[in-house]
Copies of this chain bind each other. A is one copy, B any other.
Amino acid sequence: MTFPKITLIGVGLLGGSVGLAAKQRGVAARVCGLVRREESIAECLAAGVVDEATLDIAEAVADADLIILCTPVGQMGELAAAVKPHLAADTIITDVGSVKASVVAAVEPVLPRFVGSHPLCGSEKAGVIHARGDLLEGAVCAVTPTEASDAATVETISNFWTALGSRVVNLTAADHDAVVARTSHLPHVLASALVNAVLASPRAGERDFLGTGFRDTTRLASGEAGMWRDIAMDNAAAIAMALEDLQTEIDRLKTALSEKDAAALEKFFAEGQIARDGWLAGREDL
């Protein structure tokens, strides 16, 4: 499978990594990147993630066989409208957004040959400078067709992610959002809450006592705030539900602490230890 021309709309960590992987694996004959700032053109070329970069949307979109929207999720609807006038009849479109229901709702009515994607391979590092050709290798990539999706388009987009080394999982946009609210967004918001609770008003001498445990538990809090604002806005209801699942566990812990219930505390920690170790034992990739 070789696409004559793939266009990335937005070339950051993820877009850049997709471009690099497509070039390295021969999945694209030519990769074009649409960027917003003049200086980004040189950055993208220096990083080797595209063959050409432009500020001109008409030029970027023209003749593209596959367009991948790699901008923050809040901008996808607007972007679809901007892309539409320049689109060839058979161009197919996907995206890499971390939420899917809002993106699909915003883009599909404008661009019928769009099917949403979400490769789960982010990093708290942002920017094309951190792009890696192997970022998608072994990563799960969600593809979220609707009843309106064209079957051939779904297959081509799935094959594209597979060709970059990802493992494609098909599910609805709503199911995707409910799942990632628990598996990805909940750990992220918790990391931010923990940082805010501890570092915003540190006790005297407290920083001496922050070590690798705090560092690792809060790693996700270093993610880009604007991106996470958009994700939280778009997936607010599902994240709120995930927070209720967490609240149940926190309340269980509070009760055990206030009652000094050793058996309940041991059960709380033992369930976590066993569940995590069991999960990790089945994941040679982690």
Using a CB–CB cutoff of 8 Å, the interface residues on chain A facing chain B are 120-122, 139-140, 142, 167, 169, 171, 175, 178-180, 182-184, 186-200, 203, 205-226, 228-229, 232-233, 236-237, 239-240, 242-243, 245-250, 253-254, 256-258, 260, 262, 265-266, 268-273, 275-277, 279-280, 286
CA distance A223 to B239 in the complex (A): 27
State whether A286 touches B215 (Cβ < 8 A): yes
Collect the chain B residues with CB atoms within 8 Å of residue A258's CB.
236, 240
Once A229-B262, A257-B240 are accepted as A-B contacts, the answer to whether A245 and B180 lie under 8 Å apart by CB is no
Residue of B nearest to A238 (CB): B257
CA distance A250 to B195 in the complex (A): 12
- Please give 19 more A-B residue pairs, beta carbons under 8 A apart, in addition to A140-B208, A213-B220: A122-B213, A139-B211, A183-B209, A183-B214, A186-B198, A187-B194, A192-B271, A196-B271, A199-B279, A211-B286, A222-B273, A225-B273, A228-B265, A229-B265, A232-B265, A233-B260, A236-B258, A236-B260, A240-B257
Number of copies: 2
Name A232's contact: one of B122, B232, B257 (CB within 8 Å).
Answer: B257
- For the complex formed, measure the closest distance between the CB of A283 and the CB atoms of chain B, giving whole angstroms: 8
